Chains A and B, each alone.
Chain A
Amino acid sequence: MTHPHHHNRVAGQPVLQVTGLKKAYGAIQAVGGVSFQVMPGEIFGVIGPNGSGKTTLFNSMLGQITPDAGKIELNGEDVTSLGPLELNRRGVGRTFQTLQVFGKMTVRDNLIVAAQEHKGTMFGRMFAPGDSGLGEKADALIDQFRIRHVADKKAGELSYGQQKLVDIAMAFMSEPDLVLLDEPCAGVNPRLVGGISTLLKELNRNPKIDKHSSFVVIEHNMDFVMDLCHRIMVMVEGQVMAIGTPAEIRANKQVLDAYLGS
């Protein structure tokens, strides 16, 4: 099975289109009719207080939970009911809030396994070379993330910050159209936050493959979000309060009162 998700693009078409998404847990409407779109190459931030529905929204987009209503389209294709595996094969990468590396594999193997299933057929992979022809790509990301000195160490033996970098690099190995970043700065020291921001900007342009990746970022670090994102959506109590550029969001009185204030 090959997955030519990179050829599905139509000019001017959003990479991600979410329409009227709803999800309730019992009496609690976690997400109550959210709509937005993410354009090719765009970095789209989602902010809001705890319990505003960000995580539920994210989990719906990642195929972890099935929404009650609404539609999620990827490059024009309805992917609302698809699971994480199918979404990844169609070009969705993700990072996790908590560290999720393969602890007993080397850093390099972590990166290779992150893209190998996009190469060839299941049966063919049984006879493919160990690095699936992805060694060069892995090495390029290892250099870009400045983790060359630990490339042959087991990922589980690295420091928290190093594992975080591996975790993010893995999401980019298969050259996804859309990457969902779940609190990339959680637990990271301030100096590394700057490094991650720089890396994400580089990856967003990705001149090597002449391709623009789009990101959706959930993050509580406001400086990071305002600096990185092209547009930001503010969620409060499961509803969209505002969508706009960082400058517009900063100037929005309603948002200031409800969330950014103090």
Chain B
Amino acid sequence: MKKFTHISIALCALLMLVTPQYLKNYGIYLLTYWLIFIIATMGLNLTVGYAGQKSLGHAAFFGIGAYTVAILMKAGISFWLGLPAAALICFALGIILGFPALRVQTIYLAFATLGFNTAVWLVMRNEEWLTGGTFGINNIARPSLFGFSLEGNLAYYYFTLGVTLLMAMLLWGLLRSPWGKAFTALRDNPIRAESLGVDIQTYTLLSFAIGAVYAGVAGALFASLVQFIEPAPFTVGASIMMYLMVVVGGPGYFLGPVVGAAVGVILPEWLRFAQAWYLFVFGAAVVLLMIWLPDGLLSIPDRLKAKRQSKLDSAARVAAGQTAAKNMGAKA
């Protein structure tokens, strides 16, 4: 499994480096879009997949990140200050959103986070003085890095790829540290975790806050990619879509968001031939997937391994039975 993950990461990285060279502008834009959703859903995967907190408010943080950068840049503040500001604000709000999780869990928590998302969306839509309301904020510039302009789509793609890899490495390190084990313990059995000295309240809040930081960074990159933001991409529907990406990819699998975001962002493009039937095909695919692979696409290798193991076990049992029968026969 470890080897599988390493090889997959190396292959993915190589593909992502080379592919855009052969793509037109829209293809590059789409890949960048995908990367941004990988970052956002990596964070949601920490909250939902690793720490087991059912959050349906992730798009709110995505939006807060986007609006933070857009508003700050319109005020003449650099993107390079806007990005960390977006991350910080999301961290703080993530902690606040974590508090309901200390009281309620599962579907009740999902509804609490959904309410949060709606409230944030209403602020984006109604507070025109700040957010521009439904007209949104346009002409958001792309930044330049050490004198290199990231204005071009290809340049911005590589910049986003760099940020994605950096965020992935940070998450990888975090999950391998004792924190990663504590998050998993919190998901698998919070009562047991607490009896072992795991501060489940703090870890619950942190799982929301760190997840929110990822959404905030993704949102900041998103604002600069599309250069025009309005409330629509940050609705509850978007949160549900992100949740779906995590579940489809495989919650608790490190590369789950890479696969899940591809299903959510790239697959719809491939399904364009189906035109009006697109949503039907997509919906049906998700239903089937949830029935056959409730643990997501990345659970396939584990499933195959388990199947092979159970075959080996039953073969061993049969062999043991035959030997025993033979021995008994010899005795008789």
Contact = CB atoms under 8 A, between A and B. Distances in A.
B63 to A, nearest CB: 28
A130 B196 contact: no
A85 B194 contact: yes
Nearest to B180: A130
A94 B193 CA distance: 11
A25 interface: no
A88 B192 contact: no
Interface in B164-184: 174, 176-182, 184
B196 A113 contact: yes
A68 to B, nearest CB: 23
Nearest to B175: A130
Contact of A174 (B176, B191, B196): B196
Interface string B252-267: 1000000000000000
A103 interface: yes
Interface stretch (B90-98, B113-121, B138-146, B197-205): B197-205
A36 interface: no
A103 B185 CA distance: 9
* Secondary structure class of chain B's binding surface, majority of residues: helix
A130 B188 contact: no
A112 interface: yes
Contacts of B182: 113, 116-117, 125
Nearest to A102: B188
A128 B178 CA distance: 7
A62 interface: yes
Contacts of A127: 177
B189 interface: yes
Nearest to A157: B306
**What bracket does the count of chain A residues touching chain B fall in?**
35 or more
Contacts of B275: none
A105 B188 contact: yes
B327 interface: no
Contacts of B193: 102, 113
Contacts of B196: 88, 93, 113-115, 117, 170, 173-174
A104 B177 contact: no
A36 B191 CA distance: 27
Contacts of A222: none
A145 interface: no
Given A101-B189, A102-B185, A104-B188, A126 B252 contact: no
A117 B179 CA distance: 9
Interface residues of B, number: 25
A181 B174 CA distance: 33
B188 A126 contact: no
B188 to A, nearest CB: 4
A19 interface: no
A113 B192 CA distance: 11
Contacts of B192: 96, 100-102, 170
Contacts of B176: 130
Interface string A71-101: 0000000000001110011000110100011
B195 interface: yes
Contacts of A125: 177-179, 182
Nearest to B198: A117
A212 B269 CA distance: 66
A36 B197 CA distance: 26
A20 to B, nearest CB: 25
A132 interface: yes
Given A102-B188, A102-B189, A130 B178 contact: yes
A64 to B, nearest CB: 9
A122 interface: yes
A168 to B, nearest CB: 13
B197 A130 contact: no
A93 B197 CA distance: 9
A126 B176 CA distance: 9
Nearest to A87: B195
Interface in A173-232: 173-174
A100 B189 contact: yes
Contact of A116 (B174, B181, B194): B181
B182 to A, nearest CB: 7
Interface in B186-245: 187-189, 191-200, 202
Given A101-B189, A105-B188, A118 B181 contact: no
Nearest to B201: A85
A109 B184 CA distance: 10
Interface of A: 62, 83-85, 88-89, 93-94, 96, 100-105, 109, 112-119, 122, 125-130, 132, 170, 173-174
Given A104-B184, A113-B184, 10 more contacts: A85-B197, A93-B196, A103-B188, A113-B185, A116-B178, A116-B182, A117-B196, A125-B177, A128-B177, A173-B196
Which 9 interchain pairs have the tightest Cβ spacing?
A117-B197, A102-B188, A100-B192, A88-B197, A125-B178, A113-B181, A116-B178, A114-B196, A130-B176
24 contacts: A85-B199, A85-B200, A88-B195, A96-B192, A100-B192, A101-B192, A102-B193, A104-B184, A105-B185, A113-B181, A113-B185, A114-B196, A115-B197, A116-B178, A117-B199, A122-B199, A122-B202, A126-B177, A126-B179, A128-B178, A130-B176, A130-B180, A132-B178, A170-B196
